[in-house]
Homo-oligomer: A and B are copies of this chain.
Amino acid sequence: MATIKQVAKHANVSVATVSRVMNKSGYVSEEAKEAVEKAIAELNYAPNRVARSLYKKSSNLIGLIMPDITNPFFPQLARAIEDVANQHGYQVVLCNTDEQLEKEQTYLVALQTMHVDGLIITTNHSHNPNYETLDLPMVALDRIVKAGIDAVISDGYEGGKLAADTLLQRGATRLTHIAGPDHLKTVKRRTEGFVEVAGDKLVGMTESTFTFKDALKASQELFDHAWPFDGIFAANDVIAAAVLQEAVRRNIRVPEELQVIGYDGIELGEMTSPPLTTIVQPIYEMGRMATERLLDLIEKKDTQPKEMLLPVTLLERQTTKRKEK
């Protein structure tokens, strides 16, 4: 690969002039500019980003820290982030932490020493010392790290209420719920909203992680102990899919005997039988906003911490009944 020196020699100017035309900075004569552009084209030159990074202390890299890209909620987020980053000339470094503090810490130093310009974090323990001392632009996505760090989240509380409302309106009278992991504040809000509206119609509740296996186990327990019920809200779509599968296995008709609502709006919901009714959070949009916000932070456009709460909507597919008039 050609270097700036070779370009300079080829164009009969100094490296400073080459740098100036590339960065459109300082004064350059029309003549010199053309010569440099010609040389760049002829040598197929592209500036070495590593060298630039070293001086500028900025790499045009952003770190994306998530628990596990294998969890079907995250790829869409990653996609949005990558799209926006790329449009602005940034690349993203993928980090799966499995929510392990130690892995996270290792990544954090790796990312810092490679001078990433910012971080998007979709992982947290309620108290994570790793981030608190970190002096790097960052935004939390779908998680809340701590006050003072920007966050983009969906309105889980309203989502939970909407789920209960919908179930009740469609004639359900005995509601149940499978909550998500206890340490995720954003997920807890869904449960709170649901419980509030469900009131004394709530006849059973359990808890599960977001893996399908665990969700299946939780579903079985719920069916074993709380049956009969005719409406269920799952803390996310994976859990809802497990509920659905277990219902089918038990020959419970959905939605006639049991109505099911999930949360997230991932593609998986389209693929179940019947397709899943769910509370959709605008996943791609959330990724987009988080990234744009991060880029603003990096370019110091706005340093006032913000929390962005996005509205959710009901997507009626076929695990709920038609609306009663």
Chain A residues in contact with chain B, CB under 8 A? 1, 46-51, 53-54, 59, 61, 64, 68-70, 72, 74-76, 78-79, 82-83, 86, 91-96, 106-107, 109-115, 212, 238, 241-242, 244-245, 248-249, 267-268, 270-275
Q: Which residues of B contact A46 (CB under 8 A)?
A: 109, 112-113
**Set of chain B residues within 8 Å of A271, measured between Cβ atoms:** 212, 238, 241-242, 245, 268, 271-272
**Complex Cα–Cα for A54 and B51 (A):** 6
Residue of B with least CB distance to A211: B267
Residues of chain B contacted by A69 (CB below 8 angstroms): 69, 75, 78-79, 82
Task: Check A115 against B74 for contact (C-beta < 8 Å).
Answer: no
A106: B residues at CB distance < 8 A: 86
Give the distance in Å from the alpha carbon of A244 to the alpha carbon of B272 in the complex: 9
By a CB distance below 8 angstroms, the chain B residues around A78 are 69, 94
Q: Which of A48, A93, A273 has the most CB of B within 10 A?
A: A273
Q: A51-B54, A96-B79 are in contact. Are A272 and B270 (CB under 8 A)?
A: no
Q: Is chain A's binding surface mostly helix, strand, loop or mixed?
A: helix
Residues of B within 8 Å of A270, CB to CB, are 212
Cα distance A267–B95 when bound, in Å? 21
Q: Name A268's contact: one of B51, B68, B112, B268 (CB within 8 Å).
A: B268
Number of copies: 2
Q: Which residues of B contact A94 (CB under 8 A)?
A: 64, 78, 82, 91-94
Q: How far is the CA of A245 from the CA of B64 in the complex (A)?
A: 35
Taking CB atoms, residues of chain B closer than 8 Å to A54 are 48, 50-51, 54
Measured CB to CB, the nearest residue on chain B to A47 is B113
Question: Chain B residue with minimal CB distance to A106?
Answer: B86
Known: A271-B212, A271-B241. A110 touches B82 (CB 8 A): no
Complex: A107 Cα to B273 Cα, angstroms: 39
Knowing A91-B93, A267-B212 touch, does A48 contact B113 (C-beta < 8 A)? yes
Partner of A49, one of B114, B212, B273: B114
Residues of B close to A275: CB separation below 8 A? 245
Q: Which residues on the B side are within 8 Å of A82 (C-beta)?
A: 69, 94-96
Task: Assess the B115–A50 pair: CB atoms within 8 A.
Answer: yes
B273–A244 touching, CB < 8 Å: yes
Measured in the bound complex, the distance between the Cα atoms of B275 and A86 in whole Å is 38
